[in-house]
Structure 1
Amino acid sequence: MTAAFPSPAEVEADTPATRDRAIDVIRIVSLLGVVVGHTVMATSIISDDVFIWSNLLTESVVFQALTWVFQIMPLFFFAGVAACVDSWTPGQSWGNWLMRRCTRLYRPVFYYLAFWFSALAILRYFLPEHVYEPVAGISIQLLWFLGAYVLVLAAVPVLSRITTPSRLAAAVAGTYAFIAVIDAVRINLDVPAALGYLNLVAWLIPGMLGVAYRRHLLAGRAALLGAAMFAVNLLLMWVGPYELSLVGIETQQLKNMTPPSLLLAGHSIMLCAFAIAAAPAIARWAQRPRVWWLAAIGNSGAMTLYLWHIPLLLGMHLVFDYFGYPRYPSAPGFVALSIVQLAIMAGLVAIAFVFLRPLENNPLPLWDGGHVAAPGIRSAAVGALLCVAGAATLASVGWGLKDTGIYCVALMLAALVGARLLANDPLVTAQRVDTAGRPANAR
């Protein structure tokens, strides 16, 4: 550990006084919440050579209600845009700006995909068909976040125009109203299900509030906004067709996550508003050297934690299932088994973080170094190809690494390769890397 990471004193010394520590703490705490939440909620059993992967939400209304607290994915979009919006200035190369961020985001994804393609090529010869198929389908589900996040980052030049409270109100209210109209149409009329995916614009709302946070547009009104949106969501639950769980489950008639619903849009506003209200207290807490060390080191391997905990979780469940200790609500010793699996996952994730974090931080040959010096057609083409890659990434999770998902991943890789080939201007200056392992000018 001493060799792998700088000390708390070194991290503290290397942190600029202007660093917004609250954003980093919000991001890493949210991420750890995702890892713990998936570990606690996941259930599985193999019955008659069929792998049944489920979660506790299908069994408990209490857990469904808790998603109103623990559905924290909007905070990733909020923190990401808040961290990078000031690095965008009108007139610079949009393709280059987006390429710098996608370089870091997709770097560990190449390794992740290589792992899954190799693992699945082997597993298909050892696992029964109806065990292999669900595993292949689950393999890249978490990449939905990366695809949506890239599309939100692509919109930062537009979001950066939110410079006044009135512009913020118009942007958030307009997007919220658009989602309400789409929901009304898809609920009440016989329209193609694909129409609902226009509601992916819901992920722009946390980005708008990230801009608002950075520019202090909400001032002391953030807590009031959060409370108001909580009341609106309760009203929608009471009078509307919306269901309780903010995490998608098979039993839902109208899912709140895929595609996003008006309830999730309101939840995003509520969650981000409360985060803005709490940010000063979080920033004071993050002044403690040990707290800041954990936040800085954790964020340096954020994608490592996010990506690799899923194959570890799946692998652990398969081992337990095959050895006769499946974890599901009515299983013998369910509570004891849950504690054991949580402890095992903590150890596995810690080991993966230490050994796989360098894959996220070290330059990847032939991928790193993309640069487009000036705005223009080539810059726009690079940006457009990265948007195609993001959209293909998002689409692929509907199938995983099988069937149509394979074609989506192929399109994603082709778009990334195309963007990198076009972004071939030589870099003039080297980028300084901060203590968290990120280029200092690429936040």
Structure 2
Amino acid sequence: MRSTVGRGTGTGADTVDRDPVIDLVRFICLALVVVGHSMMVSPVLHPDGTVTTENTLAQQDWFEPIIWIFMVMPLFFVTGGVTGLQSWRRLRASGGTAAQFIRARLLRLLRPATPLLATMVVGLSVAAALGVDRQVVQLMAAGAGMPLWFLAAYLAAQLNIPALAALNARAPWLGFCLLTGLVVAVDCLRGVLPDLANANLVFVWCAVQQLGFLAADGHFSRRSRSELLGIAVAGHLLLGLVTGLGLYRGNMLVNLNPPNLTLVILAVPQLATMELARPVLAPLAGVGWVGRLLVLVGGRSLTVYLWHLPLLVGMSGLLLLAPIPKPGAGTAAWWWSRPLVVLALLILLLPVGAAFGHLEERTTTAVTLRCRPATAGAAVVVVFIPVADAALSGLSLGLLAAGTVCFSVAIVLLGGFPLRRRQPYRRRHGRRTIASGLK
């Protein structure tokens, strides 16, 4: 079964429904991230009272080649490109503007993130007041806040969709090639200008997102299975070449922050593999209980992503202080405990999802107001002040507090409070609401 995504004209008039295969792939990516992090977080309490963290999974000899399979962030941005382009086309077809799209995307991400930042600020402040060592507080702030890099990168990519979609409509492959060229340029200069590497937080993920545009317009689904297999093999061979020659590290976790060309290359075979797997994924996504699970988790996916690592760090910290036997990281007993850790994390995520998941659900009904370009631009600036600081200086308790304030200000600017459902703004002469373009 081939994808029907983007089989039309490729114009703004596209009004295709969501592809359940894309939703299933996003769910799989999220599950792999949650399970993977549960195998990485290993706090260690030393005899002198200091605490450090070990990435147990990254220390395994077999892990480096395996991470080529389980580094799913490129695929996540590919699927984000598919759904983002569809949302923009639906909005534009119903009379919406780029400012309204930016408003919707900002609120979609800021609403779930702001309560998390506020909770982290309160929790870490209480820990500091109770006498927890400042080094431990800083370690917890940095570790628990790691998922926030995704918020910055995903926002940067999604907010550029209207402009990049216009380029895609004129020359589908040009945007991808131009962005990839910028990625290579930054990689070549990052040795003499280290801070320039952070520019690839935009260039890399926008380039990967452009692959999602191409997928949405059918450029991959129209390929034969042998062509898709050839693309997947060629992509991995190219990745092996650039890492084998020493141009890049073979460890994809190292290549993730700041990102580089390897992640763009990796996205191509991942996309081809997704299309190859479509005949299996499509029937699976059509199973009743699977579809219901995708709807349930899909409406709370960002909440799950943002909260899972803070919960994991907090749980690991409490277990570290508890007077119970603790298996050494990487030992057989430690590996056998991982399923219990994942189960406990899922149990903790249930009340969090119930409490904060509605912030994602209500975003689509709250984007029906007009939004001036100046307002959207001001909100973007306010949001990226702490985000840019975090990218350059790292996370701290003070920066988390600043982020809470800035995110709240941006939500107010965009009219995101109160959270009650608003009456939709209707265009003149009874035409459909612009909100329908973002559902």
Q: CA deviation at 1:34?
A: 0.3
| Residue 393 of structure 1: aligned partner | 387
Q: 1:158 to 1:273 in 2, by over 3 A?
A: farther
User: Partner amino acid for 1:353?
Assistant: L
| Residue 438 of structure 2: aligned partner | 442
Q: Is the 8 A contact 2:88 2:437 kept in 1?
A: no
| Residue 6 of structure 2: aligned partner | none
5 Å-filtered alignment, 1:342-361, equals 342-361=339-358
Q: 1:365 to 1:336 in 2, by over 3 A?
A: same
The range that moved more, 59-68 or 270-279, is: 270-279
Q: Does 1:265 align with 2:264?
A: yes
Q: CA deviation at 1:163?
A: 5.2
Q: Distance in 1 between matches of 2:409 and 2:304?
A: 26
Q: 1:27 to 1:429 in 2, by over 3 A?
A: farther
5 Å-filtered alignment, 1:102-121, equals 102-121=106-125
Q: Does 1:186 align with 2:181?
A: no
Q: Does 1:60 align with 2:64?
A: no
| Residue 137 of structure 1: aligned partner | 142
5 Å-filtered alignment, 1:55-204, equals 55-89=55-89, 90=92, 92-126=96-130, 127-161=132-166, 167-187=171-191, 190-191=192-193, 193-200=194-201, 201-204=203-206
User: Partner amino acid for 2:200?
Assistant: N
1:240 to 236, 246, 251: 246
Q: CA deviation at 1:384?
A: 5.2
Q: CA deviation at 1:328?
A: 4.4
Q: 1:300 to 1:358 in 2, by over 3 A?
A: farther
Unaligned runs of 5+ in 1: 1-15, 249-255, 431-438
Q: Distance in 2 between matches of 1:384 and 1:44?
A: 40
Please tell me the root mean square deviation across aligned C-alpha atoms, in Å.
3.3
Q: Distance in 1 between matches of 2:267 and 2:381?
A: 23
Q: Is the 8 A contact 1:227 1:270 kept in 2?
A: yes
Q: Secondary structure at the match of 1:45?
A: strand
State, as a whole percentage, how many aligned pairs show the same letter: 22
Q: CA deviation at 1:152?
A: 1.0
Q: Secondary structure at the match of 2:190?
A: helix
Unaligned runs of 5+ in 2: 1-14, 428-434
Q: Secondary structure at the match of 2:32?
A: helix
Q: Distance in 2 between matches of 1:413 and 1:209?
A: 33
Q: 1:267 to 1:409 in 2, by over 3 A?
A: farther
TM-score (normalizing by structure 1): 0.80
| Residue 310 of structure 1: aligned partner | 309
Q: Distance in 2 between matches of 1:310 and 1:390?
A: 22
Q: 1:343 to 1:99 in 2, by over 3 A?
A: same
Q: 1:362 to 1:163 in 2, by over 3 A?
A: closer
Q: Which whole-Å deviations, capped at 9, do the CAs of 1:304-355 have from their partners, x for residues lacking one? A: 211221122112211232235445446xxx3223333431432332342255
Q: Which whole-Å deviations, capped at 9, do the CAs of 1:267-324 have from their partners, x for residues lacking one? A: 1233223223323431222111122222222212212211221122112211232235
Number of residue pairs aligned between Structure 1 and Structure 2 = 402
Q: CA deviation at 1:363?
A: 7.9
| Residue 224 of structure 1: aligned partner | 230
Q: 1:142 to 1:73 in 2, by over 3 A?
A: same
Q: Is the 8 A contact 1:139 1:401 kept in 2?
A: no
| Residue 334 of structure 2: aligned partner | 337
